[in-house]
Amino acid sequence: MQDTKVTVASLKSILIDPQENLQRVRQAVEVAERDGARLLFLPELMLSGHGGHPKMIENAEPVPDGPLSSAVVEMSRAAGIAICVGIAELDHGIVYNSQFVVDRGEYLGLQRKINLSSDEYLWFGNGETLPIFDLGDLRFGIIICYDNSFPELALSCGLQHADLILAPHAGRVGVWPDPMSAEEKQQQIRSQQSGWRLLHAARAYDHNLFVLLCNAVGSAAQGLSELDEYGAVGPGGLDPRAVISNHAGTVMGFDPAGTAILETQAEDFVDEIVTVELPAAKRHVNHQPSRNRRSSTMLELLAEASALGS
């Protein structure tokens, strides 16, 4: 690993207009290029929007040849940076909740969400692999939103000698009061940061790597209640016109000591684009748990436990 700047962007993303989402990505690319970042990191389903509505599937496309993903490839080429961004990926008739990576115009691959949360199983297929992406000066894995609840995935990244875990989110937080007070908004933000701190400081410390997090911002359901063409009953018996998809936003990051190196400055549900430097020296040389781990035995124990629990 070399010292690396990463631009972390938590942005609003709506289901009804992917082109508006793409424009927000363009604005984040401009910040990353200005700041000299090597990598721009964007939220889960940033391009397609996230929420239990047919629009999410209608917005799906092949990666990297669809119009949205092709536009991101070109942005990456023009800016000379790597971009990691979420999209509803269409492959052989199946839609996946995916995060794809391009580097200076070259498509490197994608991560599909493995464990689906809430109603996502009505819309997406499951991912089956956890690749590591190598930029030359930085190796990283991607663990998408709910997948971060499963520590085995962070362990897999550690075993593959990742320097960094990217944890993109579009974490839904239920129904919001209308109107919503400033204090209620700040409570949602504090709750988001507190939950991430509890989980990801330990992930970073355990596996001697950096962790960066971003999230969708605000409601993804803007304008959906006015669409009548989907009828009153959608998948799972839900009314597409009543979809609620609220996201608290915020950015966060941890170094290999489990120390927070990035915390949100937002006090409202607003876009946040921050560039952070990851110093290579923060990763421990001769990290004892990594060096001493009996990997084959540990994996056998996990396999046995899984078999007993199934």
Question: Which tokens go with 26?
Answer: 């363009």
pTM summary value: 0.96
Predicted confidence (pLDDT) at residue 139 exceeds the cutoff of 90: yes
pLDDT of 234 higher than 80: no
Rg of the Cα trace of the chain?
19
Q: What CATH number labels 4-309?
A: 3.60.110.10
User: Which of the pair, 129 or 295, is modelled with greater confidence?
Assistant: 129
45: its two tokens? 């389903």
What is the 8-class DSSP label of residue 286?
T
Residue 92: the pLDDT is 97
Do 61 and 87 touch, CB atoms closer than 8 A? yes
Residue 299 to residue 146: CA distance in whole angstroms: 23
CB 78 within 8 A of CB 59: no
What value does the mean pLDDT take over residues 168-189? 94
pLDDT at 293: 87
Q: H helices within the chain, ranges in order?
A: 18-35, 54-58, 67-79, 151-159, 182-207, 288-292, 295-309
Q: What is the mean pLDDT of residues 49-71?
A: 96
| Domain segments of the chain as ranges | 4-309
Find, among 87, 90, 51, 61, the residue nearest to 224 by Cα: 51
Which 3 state secondary structure label does DSSP give 260? strand
Question: Does 239 or 26 have the greater pLDDT score?
Answer: 26
